[in-house]
Amino acid sequence: MKKYIFAFAVLSIVFLLVIVPLIARIIEATEYYKIGQNMVPSINSIVGERKLSEWTSSLIPMKKTYEYTRVEDPKADIEKYYEYLIYNEGFIPINDGDGEKTVAKESSKEGYIIVIDISIMGQGYLVTLVEGKGIIQ
């Protein structure tokens, strides 16, 4: 009986440490991207459900990268998302290239900015969010 209680305890801890954070990442990537204390609507919430194939994060600098693959029309998606961020979320256009778009706005953390870069990569795209020191003039 003690073996079963121990096994259940170990499985519960693994579930809490591995599965719950993974589910949180999937949910986060579906509706919003969280960078620092800022929430930005995700590309999925604007253009529709896309396959998120990879998600990475680092604390120094505060950076998150989302890789989407097998997208039917990557160029149309990034254009729609780029325009949404500018016209609905107050981002300022920085780069309006053919396969790469960049926007920025002030972070909720004083003296910091958020930069979002969206770039085509084959039949998909990368969405990279960075929060770092800076000002927008």
Would you kindly state where each structural domain of the chain is located, as residue ranges?
Answer: 2-133
What kind and span of H or E run contains 121?
Answer: strand 112-121
Indicate the range of 23-27, 95-99, 130-134 predicted with least confidence.
23-27
Residue 48 has, within 13 A of its CA and on its CB side, a CA count of 6
**Cβ distance 116 to 129 under 8 Å?**
yes
Q: Where does the pLDDT of residue 119 fall: very low under 50, low under 70, confident under 90, or very high at 90 and above?
A: very high
Q: What angle do CA 108, 35, 101 make, to 5 degrees?
A: 100
- Please state the rounded mean pLDDT for residues 15-23: 55
Backbone torsion region of residue 111, taken as left when φ is above 0, otherwise alpha when ψ lies between -120 and 50, otherwise beta: left
Largest CA distance in the chain: 67
Predicted TM-score (pTM) of this structure:
0.77
